[in-house]
Amino acid sequence: MTLPIYIIDDEPTILRSLQQLLQLEGYKVDVFTDAREAMRKLEPDFNGVLISDINMPGMDGVAFLREALKLDPELSIVMLTGHGDISTAVESMRLGAYDFIEKPFSNEHILDVIKRAGEKRALVLENRELKNELDAQAGAGPRILGHTTKIKALRRILLQIRDIPADVLIKGETGAGKDLVARFLHYNSKRQNENFVAINCGAIPESMIESELFGFEAGAFTSAQKKRVGKIEHANGGTFFLDEIESMPMALQIKLLRVLEDRRIEPLGSNRQVELDIRVIAAAKVDLLELVEKGEFREDLYYRLNVINVEIPPLRERKEDISLLFQHFAAIASTRFHTDAPRLTNEQLLRLQQHNWPGNIRELRNAAERFVLMGGQTAFDDGTPGVENDKLTLVEKVAHYERQLLQESLRANEGRLTDVQQHLGLPRKTLYDKMRKHGLDKGDYKLP
């Protein structure tokens, strides 16, 4: 964005020459012969540089400086002064001016001062914006980190819609952070003290998903020995998150549509209807509209879910955030594993930036954990961040790979050991022994 410049001086010759010089350098320039006119146009969070002469009729430069700094005490204001006004110029610096320039001045000098003043103002506004974003995320629950334009826009949208009583559809690639966005919405909303219930439609067998969602009464079917409250009812008052909604069977999509429209459910084997006050968030890693066109997803359910649409940018489109995110995950890993987080070298950071990250945030988090576990020794075989295996013995390589598989399974199954057993095909005692060997605790992988 073009940096705006306000020039305030009662001498037309200086105004014209400065205006021409700065416009040739690509600045957006406004000129004023009266400081009071400039004050009327000036707004807080002005993102440019102010250049003001000191000696002017009406409101002089020092008076303008005082009034402008009342509006925003961190404005970048450069004072122009004649030889006889040096003491006044020094006083203006004490009051808060960025710098002063004595007339006559060289073009190179004033351009250098303006460049530095503009950089300082940009930094002030960036820090101010980050502080506002952190204040907005000061509540319980996860934070969405990053400085890129796309991630800032995502945070703004989420904060705008957090309390809107409408269902939300999240789209994002595998590992992009769909669960994080859903939790961010919940924990920053008025529902934050109620339940957040998540279900992965692709991880539950089709024969079980209906009873998981709606619950059942004792005797509703052969194995229903006692009553069970379904996930939707458990989320009543809070947020219900349906991940991988594209995997939901077509027959169940009809029932879900009815729930969304009526805001009530009927558990299996019951005539009892439960009134619902929930917010529904659904997430998909594919384009649902394309599935609708193929007849693989119900059109009416798609439009019912798609009241508010949120799209998460993949990590390859926000590479400026990689360093921040990597160090954040490394700090968390160092706390979990009770070890210091190594420092990234410039070469390692460059390789992180060059990688395409098909697994997005999840892949980056895993890379950061490996980095901490291996004491900062990393290699990038085939462009993928990993461990510097050439320096490890066979036993060390096997142990490292075993630990990595255990961690990934624990994380995928949220610390549920029965599911980890099935996933890895291990007897329960063997799983316990291996977790003890590698210092793994199931509690570290359970969601809050």
Model confidence pLDDT, tens digit, residues 174-192 = 999 999 999 999 998 999 9
Concatenate the DSSP letters of all residues of 304-373 into one string: HHTTEEEEPPPGGG-GGGHHHHHHHHHHHHHHHTTSPPPPPPHHHHHHHHHS--TTHHHHHHHHHHHHHH
Cα–chain center distance at 156: 10
Q: What is the pLDDT of residue 397?
A: 66
Q: What is the pLDDT of residue 228?
A: 79
Tens of pLDDT along the chain (448 residues) come to: 688 999 999 999 999 999 999 999 999 999 999 999 999 999 988 999 999 999 899 899 999 999 999 999 999 999 998 766 778 888 889 899 999 998 888 999 999 999 999 988 988 887 776 666 555 555 556 888 887 889 989 998 998 999 998 999 999 999 999 999 999 999 989 999 999 999 998 888 877 888 888 887 765 566 666 777 889 989 999 999 999 999 998 988 998 999 999 998 887 777 778 889 999 999 999 999 999 999 999 999 999 999 999 999 999 999 888 888 888 888 888 888 888 777 777 677 778 888 889 999 999 998 888 888 887 765 444 444 544 444 456 676 677 678 778 877 887 788 888 888 888 888 888 888 888 887 777 876 766 5
Rounded CA-CA distance 266/280 in Å is 17
Spans of all domains in the chain: 4-131, 149-313, 316-445
* Strand, helix or coil for residue 7: strand
Domain 4-131 and domain 316-445, same fold? Reply is no
Q: Return the structure tokens found at 61.
A: 């430069």
CATH code for the structural domain at 4-131: 3.40.50.2300
Rounded CA-CA distance 445/412 in Å is 9
In terms of Cβ atoms closer than 10 Å to its own Cβ (0-12, 13-18, 19+), residue 56 is: buried
Alpha-carbon distances of 39 from 48, 65, 94, rounded to whole Å? 14, 10, 21
Q: What is the pLDDT of residue 214?
A: 85
CATH code for the structural domain at 149-313: 3.40.50.300
Class of 316-445 in CATH: mainly alpha
Rounded CA-CA distance 353/350 in Å is 5
Concatenate the DSSP letters of all residues of 127-194 into one string: HHHHHHHHHHT-SSS------SHHHHHHHHHHHHHTT-SS-EEEE--TTS-HHHHHHHHHHTSTTTTS
Q: Return the structure tokens found at 105.
A: 């001045």
* Strand, helix or coil for residue 54: coil
Alpha-carbon distances of 126 from 48, 57, 121, 156, 321, rounded to whole Å? 13, 36, 9, 15, 15
Model confidence pLDDT, tens digit, residues 1-55 = 688 999 999 999 999 999 999 999 999 999 999 999 999 999 988 999 999 999 8
